[in-house]
Amino acid sequence: MRAQPGWEDRLGEVIGGRFVRGDFSRLRLQVSHPMDNGLVGGIPEFFLNQAELRAADGQVLAALELYPAVAENPSLSLEVKGEQDTRLWLRDNNGNEFEAAL
């Protein structure tokens, strides 16, 4: 059973912020996703398994491989040089893709 009712309406929603720290920006994000591991009867695996932080021109700045052991609605922290525009791209094991401008 998923802990938060109405999770389907928020699936893939990214909330967070950018915090400038000298020559770097820290990105603190939370992604709405149940991150089910398939160990509960009747609930199949359903989790984010890929994430990329991309520059405005599409260049991949960071690539992450995620697993279902990450908490429901996982939080991510990333640092980027400068204050360049970035996008977070995510994919789950069902092929759903999500993207957010940061």
Residue 51 has pLDDT above 90, yes or no: yes
Residue 13's pLDDT is what?
Answer: 95
Residue 2 has pLDDT above 80, yes or no: no
1 found inside a domain = no
Q: What is the pTM of this model?
A: 0.86
Residue 1's pLDDT is what?
Answer: 42
Tens digits of per-residue pLDDT, 57-101?
A: 999 999 999 988 878 999 999 999 988 899 999 999 999 999 999
Q: Which residue has the higher pLDDT, 6 or 74?
A: 74
Mean pLDDT of the 38-58 span: 93
Residue 41 has pLDDT above 50, yes or no: yes
Residue 11 lies in domain: 7-101
Q: Count CA atoms closer than 13 A to 33's CA, side-chain side.
A: 32
Number of domains in the chain: 1
42 found inside a domain = yes
Question: Residue 100 phi/psi, 5° resolution?
Answer: -145, 135
CATH of the domain at 70: 2.60.40.10
Question: Residue 18 phi/psi, 5° resolution?
Answer: -115, 135
* Cβ-based neighbours of 35, under 8 Å, separated by 6 or more: 46, 47, 48, 68, 70, 71, 72, 73, 74
Question: Which of 73, 52, 47 has its CA nearest to residue 62?
Answer: 52
Q: Using an 8 Å Cβ cutoff, are 34 and 45 in contact?
A: no
